[in-house]
């Protein structure tokens, strides 16, 4: 029985942390509306990867010509129905939804990394600069409140980091702050906070392209399930190790 796999290339269209969540795609991010068809020879995921490369993008963070950010992710879903099955159409829809959810999860991961990196850069830039100390220096002033909700969430994260630093007797503008922040961001409470913001951030996605391919049948599906099982076991072992370290 052939396994139909659906892969989608997804764009995250909110271009920077200060942009409105309803930001629209520009010509360089134009959506390809041509049909791709179903093929057997090339896997849908590889076709998506090739497409991303041809567009000059990479999976993860990308930079527009004007300096704005956008993110790209690929997700894969599986339809185990055959064209003769009554549930064939529903199976394709399910495969698309599955691919979309996986791509969004990857986007949240990419964006979480960007948030953490951005926060670390903020503390590095502010070393030796007490907020509001020099009004003439715009980089040395108290942070302004962003217009978008995600920017406000990022400020809340920074406030949480400031509080954690204060408990350790470290000033936010001190030379010790950047390394301390890097360590704090690895703690589970902060990781969960960053993850929550990142997930909330994934709201302006656009499907750039959909690819479909026929898999290797039952044997291929068994291989895929075994691969997923091995990955989950690795994640479980990693989690158990983290729990032991905390104890």
In this prediction, residue 2 carries a pLDDT of: 57
In this prediction, residue 171 carries a pLDDT of: 92
For 101-117, the pLDDT digits (tens) are 899 999 899 888 888 98
CB-based burial label for 221 (10 Å; 0-12, 13-18, 19+):
middle
Please state at what angle helix 88-125 crosses helix 188-201, rounded to 10 degrees: 120
Nearest-Å Rg of the Cα atoms of the chain is: 22
Segment 204-221 shows an average pLDDT of 72
- Determine phi and psi for 30, rounding to 5 degrees: -55, 140
In this prediction, residue 180 carries a pLDDT of: 94
In this prediction, residue 69 carries a pLDDT of: 79
In this prediction, residue 134 carries a pLDDT of: 42
Q: Which residue has the tokens 């091995």?
A: 230
Highest mean pLDDT among 15-24, 59-68, 157-166, 202-211: 157-166
For 40-87, the pLDDT digits (tens) are 667 888 889 999 999 999 998 888 887 777 889 999 988 888 778 888
Segment 17-32 shows an average pLDDT of 50
Q: What is the pTM of this model?
A: 0.68
Q: List, as one string, the DSSP characters of 201-245.
A: HTTSEEEEEEEEEE--HHHHHHHHHHHHHHHHHHHHHHHHHHHHH
Mean pLDDT of the chain: 76
For 213-234, the pLDDT digits (tens) are 876 555 555 666 777 778 777 7
Segment 158-172 shows an average pLDDT of 93
In this prediction, residue 170 carries a pLDDT of: 93
In this prediction, residue 163 carries a pLDDT of: 93
């Amino acid at each position: 029985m052939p396994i139909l796999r659906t892969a989608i290339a997804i764009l995250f269209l909110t271009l920077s942390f200060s942009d409105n969540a309803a930001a629209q795609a520009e010509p360089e991010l134009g959506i390809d509306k041509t049909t791709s068809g179903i093929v057997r020879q090339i896997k849908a995921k590889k076709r998506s990867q090739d497409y991303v490369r041809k567009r000059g993008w990479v999976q993860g963070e990308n930079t527009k010509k004007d300096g704005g950010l956008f993110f790209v992710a690929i997700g894969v879903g599986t339809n185990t129905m055959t064209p003769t099955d009554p549930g064939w159409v529903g199976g394709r829809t399910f495969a698309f939804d599955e691919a979309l959810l996986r791509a969004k999860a990857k986007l949240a991961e990419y964006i979480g990394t960007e948030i953490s990196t951005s926060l670390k850069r903020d503390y590095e830039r502010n070393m030796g600069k007490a907020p509001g100390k020099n009004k003439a220096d715009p980089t040395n002033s108290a942070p302004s409140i962003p217009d978008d909700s995600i920017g406000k969430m990022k400020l809340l994260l920074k406030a949480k980091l400031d509080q954690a630093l204060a408990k350790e007797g470290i000033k936010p503008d001190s030379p010790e702050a950047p390394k301390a922040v890097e360590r704090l961001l690895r703690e589970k409470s902060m990781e969960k906070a960053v993850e929550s913001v990142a997930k909330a951030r994934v709201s302006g996605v656009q499907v750039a392209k959909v690819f479909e391919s026929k898999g290797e049948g039952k044997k291929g599906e068994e291989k895929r399930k075994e691969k997923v099982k091995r990955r989950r076991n690795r994640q479980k072992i990693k989690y158990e190790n983290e729990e032991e370290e905390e104890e």
